[in-house]
């Protein structure tokens, strides 16, 4: 398998966690005789410093010429004085639009070793495996008109969706549900919002095409509560942009840290992959960042762009093994400081576990 991967490490802890993810991808390439090439480009605050813009054209060009884009994190407080369209985060929104990915996949997988790490009771957090499918290019984040009149003290944002936008992301959610536990939960606010009524009606219209998938609908406020009480009841969760942003971040409570959450954005010209956590500039360069979200994101690169399911599963198994051995970065230590490891040390531990896992698989396959 050949993959050309664009690396946009970005700001804050982005370069630290991305480095560990790339090391894991290089290990997979070595173990499996795959050919992965990596090319670096700037985005966010580092791009503003170097080029005066959060997303240079050279970065866009590189991404469009690649098979996948792996992004670290974007954001730096020193640019907060700029208007929103000039800040680092604008580069992230723009690259999503340029690549055209409309379906954001956010897994929430509770590792057994971290069950007690969650603020939720272990019996609630245990064995959770949810895949959020979030529409990424519509809704309040992009709808027009939008403005803020500081003189009158009035602001407006527009939630807008077309049936086409809902259909294309819903089909992806249905297809993913068919490969998992065959249950789809569509989340909306249909008792108040016309946009949500469109979403619910469209999913109902598509349902007969996927007779093996059970469909249910949840209002977003009740869904927020159910995620904290009965998260094992959910498999694939489909929702619009704003609700998906909030609910998938809330799921970090289940895993114990946002640092454990990967994501992939698919459906466009080139798939974009990034851990859910932000740039965390307050801990940048201190070796405290959790690289597991980025490493699990690397597994998604292999799964969705490389179609290397075996290798993706091997990475996830390696992460589970390292956590089961008691190794923790500070965000998931929960007071167990004796087991704390640095960003680099965690990456090396996963690399070692991955090598052992692949060696065992190869030995079994040879027999």
Q: How many CA atoms lie within 13 A of 129 on its CB side?
A: 9
Question: Which member of 126, 189, 288, 321 is catalytic?
Answer: 189
Q: What is the pLDDT along the chain (367 residues), one digit of tens a residue?
A: 899 999 999 999 999 999 999 999 999 999 899 999 999 999 999 999 999 999 999 999 999 999 999 999 999 999 999 998 899 999 998 999 999 999 999 999 988 888 877 888 888 988 899 999 999 999 999 899 999 999 999 999 999 999 999 999 999 999 999 999 999 999 999 999 999 999 999 999 999 999 999 999 999 999 999 999 999 999 999 999 999 999 999 998 998 888 899 999 999 999 999 999 999 999 999 999 999 999 999 999 999 999 999 999 999 999 999 999 999 998 888 765 556 899 999 999 999 999 987 765 553 343 3
Query: Has 249 been annotated as catalytic?
Result: yes
Length of the chain: 367
DSSP reduced 3-state for 77: helix
Written as six digits, the tokens of 1 are 């398998």
Question: Which member of 245, 288, 321, 331 is catalytic?
Answer: 245
Residues sharing a CB contact under 8 Å with residue 239, sequence separation 6 or more, in sequence order: 132, 133, 134, 135, 186, 187, 188, 199, 220, 247
**Residue pair 289/11 in contact by the 8 Å Cβ criterion:** no
For 206-258, how does the pLDDT look when each residue is reduced to its tens digit (9 = 90+)?
Answer: 999 999 999 999 999 999 999 999 999 999 999 999 999 999 999 989 988 88
Written as six digits, the tokens of 251 are 């799921």
Q: Which pTM value belongs to this model?
A: 0.90
Q: Which residue has the tokens 């090319």?
A: 39
Exposure string over 41-73, b if 16+ CB within 10 A, otherwise e? bbbbbbbbeeeebbbbeebbebbeebbbbbbbb
**Residue pair 259/293 in contact by the 8 Å Cβ criterion:** yes
**Residue pair 214/184 in contact by the 8 Å Cβ criterion:** yes
By CB atoms closer than 10 A (0-12, 13-18, 19+), residue 271 is buried
Question: Which member of 61, 85, 127, 221 is catalytic?
Answer: 221
Cα(266)–Cα(259) distance, integer angstroms: 21
CB atoms within 10 A of CB 106: 24
Question: Which member of 26, 183, 249, 348 is catalytic?
Answer: 249
Query: Has 183 been annotated as catalytic?
Result: no
Query: Has 76 been annotated as catalytic?
Result: no
Nearest CA to 186 among 133, 122, 128? 133
| H or E segment and range at residue 289 | none
CB atoms within 10 A of CB 329: 22
Query: Has 4 been annotated as catalytic?
Result: no
Question: Which member of 26, 67, 129, 141 is catalytic?
Answer: 141
Q: For position 241, what pLDDT does the model report?
A: 96
Q: For position 252, what pLDDT does the model report?
A: 87
Give the relative orientation of helices 309-324 and 343-366 as an angle to the nearest 10 degrees. 120
Q: For position 214, what pLDDT does the model report?
A: 98
Written as six digits, the tokens of 150 are 């500081």
Query: Has 189 been annotated as catalytic?
Result: yes
According to DSSP H, which parts of the chain are helical? 14-32, 45-51, 57-64, 88-99, 122-125, 163-179, 194-206, 220-229, 241-250, 252-255, 292-304, 309-324, 343-366
- Specify the DSSP class assigned to residue 340: B
């Amino acid at each position: 398998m050949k993959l050309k991967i664009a690396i946009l490490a970005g700001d804050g802890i982005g370069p630290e966690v991305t480095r560990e993810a790339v090391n894991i991808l290089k290990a997979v390439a070595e173990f499996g005789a795959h050919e992965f090439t990596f090319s670096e480009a700037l985005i966010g605050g580092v791009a503003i410093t170097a080029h005066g813009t959060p997303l240079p054209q050279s970065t866009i060009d590189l991404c469009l010429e690649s098979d996948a884009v792996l992004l670290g994190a974007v954001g730096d407080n020193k640019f907060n004085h700029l208007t929103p369209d000039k800040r680092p985060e604008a580069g992230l929104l723009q690259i999503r639009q340029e690549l055209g990915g409309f379906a954001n996949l956010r897994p929430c997988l509770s590792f057994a070793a971290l069950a007690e790490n969650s603020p939720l009771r272990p019996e609630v957090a245990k064995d959770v495996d949810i895949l959020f499918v979030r529409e990424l290019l519509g809704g309040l984040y992009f709808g027009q008109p939008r403005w803020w009149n500081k003189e009158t003290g009035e602001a407006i944002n527009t939630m807008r969706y077309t049936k086409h936008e809902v259909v294309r992301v819903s089909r992806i959610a249905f297809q993913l549900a068919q490969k998992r536990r065959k249950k789809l939960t569509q989340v909306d606010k249909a008792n108040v919002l016309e946009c949500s009524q469109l979403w619910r009606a469209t999913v109902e219209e598509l349902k007969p095409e996927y007779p093996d998938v059970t469909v249910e609908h949840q209002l977003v406020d009740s869904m927020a509560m159910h995620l904290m009480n009965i998260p094992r009841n959910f498999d694939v969760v489909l929702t619009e942009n704003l609700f998906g942003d909030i609910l998938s971040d809330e799921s970090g409570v289940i895993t114990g840290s946002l640092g454990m959450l990967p994501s992939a954005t698919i459906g466009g010209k080139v798939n974009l992959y990034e851990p859910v956590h932000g740039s965390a500039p307050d801990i940048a360069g201190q070796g405290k960042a959790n690289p597991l979200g980025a490493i699990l994101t690397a597994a998604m690169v292999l799964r969705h762009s490389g179609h290397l399911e075996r290798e993706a599963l091997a990475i996830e198994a390696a992460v589970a093994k390292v956590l089961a051995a008691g190794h923790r970065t500070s965000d998931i230590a929960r007071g167990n400081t004796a087991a704390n490891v640095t960003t680099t040390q965690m990456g090396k531990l996963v690399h070692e576990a991955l090598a052992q896992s692949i060696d065992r698989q190869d030995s079994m396959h040879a027999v």
